[in-house]
């Protein structure tokens, strides 16, 4: 069904805090999610990148979802993200756990057969049909560069038309032409978000609804301010906010990505925790460099550090 215009939005792909000994730090996770809710930003949990989902046990995945729902439901949108899966059966199991936990929506990741193999277009379609036929939880399709291929626009359109509980598409590719084709094909029916902030303004200009952000783990109010300025139609504020988010993104990823984000959060006395092996903490000198950049961007005043 074609709907009217939907509001713009940004979602944080939440970290999963671990203690120094590698245990899931549930108390830190709760405090972190409370900070996200206070900023008014939507939240995905358990992701394979920022959420370190690949090193979570099945029980930890379930617990992260439960904690997120307890802390966020009714305050901000709370969604499961999960990781790239080897089969429809794996994705179906995860969506069932997510639905039982009470998430508002579940992302359906791209199929990744492993060992460098890529599925055929027919196999991708069959995978999505199998997964979406097995659940009624509101679902968001993910087409992500991590698996080495793009879900065809035709397949995305077929799936959106067939399943009413598909509510969005997360497109994480550098190809703006591909993003444009997705928006043109399904953007009047479902939300479209671009993965990462660097394409945020391009995506909004093309008719997408917003972006996903790892940077919001550190600066949720800053990331939300891009959307606020866009909705107000304040071009100067929009450009200034986006410029700060873009510089923050490049600084964090240049120094280790989520490892760096967690380290900075810890330095600030905020719940960040540690990366879980095989990822290792970043050096103190790296944190010093990042803190200088963050101070120059004036993020602390906005975030209330």
pLDDT digits (tens, 9 = 90+) for 25-84: 999 999 999 999 999 999 999 999 999 999 999 999 999 999 999 999 999 999 999 999
How many domains would you assign to the chain? Answer: 1
In a domain, 103, yes or no: yes
Q: Is residue 249 part of a domain?
A: no
CA atoms within 13 A on the CB side of 197: 32
Tokens for 241? 């906010």
Q: Is residue 109 part of a domain?
A: yes
- pLDDT for the residue 3: 41
What is the Rg, in whole angstroms, of the alpha carbon atoms belonging to the chain? 18
Mean pLDDT over each residue of the chain, to the nearest integer: 96
pLDDT at 150: 97
In a domain, 146, yes or no: yes
**E strand residue ranges, 62-120:** 78-80, 105-108
* Section 17-28 average pLDDT: 97
With 60 as the cut, is the pLDDT of residue 2 above it? Answer: no
The residue segments making up the domain with residue 209 are 9-234
Residue 182 is assigned to a structural domain of this protein = yes
Q: What does the pLDDT look like over 106-162, one tens digit per residue?
A: 999 999 999 999 999 999 999 999 999 999 999 999 999 999 999 999 999 999 999
CA distance 229 to 238: 5
**150 within a domain of the structure (yes/no):** yes
- What pLDDT sits at residue 4? 42
Q: Is pLDDT at 6 greater than 90 in this prediction?
A: no
Where does residue 22 fall: left (phi above 0), alpha (psi -120 to 50 degrees), or beta otherwise? left
Residue 220 lies in a domain: yes
- Strands of the chain, DSSP E: 9-13, 42-45, 78-80, 105-108, 139-144, 166-172, 191-195, 210-213
pLDDT of residue 5: 59
Residue 157 lies in a domain: yes
**Residue 227's CATH number:** 3.20.20.70
SS3 18: strand
């Amino acid at each position: 069904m074609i709907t009217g215009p939907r509001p713009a939005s940004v979602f944080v792909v939440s970290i999963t805090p671990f203690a120094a000994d590698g245990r899931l730090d549930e108390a830190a996770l709760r405090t972190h999610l409370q900070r996200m809710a206070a900023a008014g930003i939507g939240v995905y949990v358990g992701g394979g990148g920022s959420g370190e989902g690949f090193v979570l046990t099945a029980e930890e995945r379930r617990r992260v979802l439960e904690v997120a729902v307890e802390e966020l439901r009714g305050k901000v949108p709370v969604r499961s993200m999960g990781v790239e899966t080897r089969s429809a059966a794996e994705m179906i199991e995860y969506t069932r756990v997510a639905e039982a936990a009470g998430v508002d929506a579940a992302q359906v990741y791209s199929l990744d057969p492993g060992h460098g193999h890529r599925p055929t277009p027919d196999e991708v379609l069959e995978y999505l049909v199998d997964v979406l036929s097995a659940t009624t939880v509101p679902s968001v399709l993910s087409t992500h560069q991590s698996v080495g291929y793009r879900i065809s626009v035709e397949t995305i359109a077929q799936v959106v038309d067939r399943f009413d509980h598909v509510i969005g598409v997360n497109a994480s590719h550098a190809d703006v032409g591909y993003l444009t084709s997705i928006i043109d094909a399904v953007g009047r029916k479902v939300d479209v978000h671009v993965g990462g902030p660097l394409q945020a303004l391009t995506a909004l200009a093309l008719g997408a609804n917003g972006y996903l952000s790892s940077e919001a783990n550190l600066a949720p109010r800053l990331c939300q301010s891009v959307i606020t300025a866009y909705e107000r139609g304040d071009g100067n504020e929009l450009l200034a906010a986006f410029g700060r988010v873009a510089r923050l993104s490049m600084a964090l990823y240049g120094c280790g990505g989520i490892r760096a984000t967690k380290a900075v959060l810890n330095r600030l006395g905020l719940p960040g925790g540690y990366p879980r092996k095989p990822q290792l903490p970043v050096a103190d000198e790296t944190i010093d460099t990042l803190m200088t950049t963050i101070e120059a961007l004036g993020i602390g005043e906005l975030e209330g550090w």
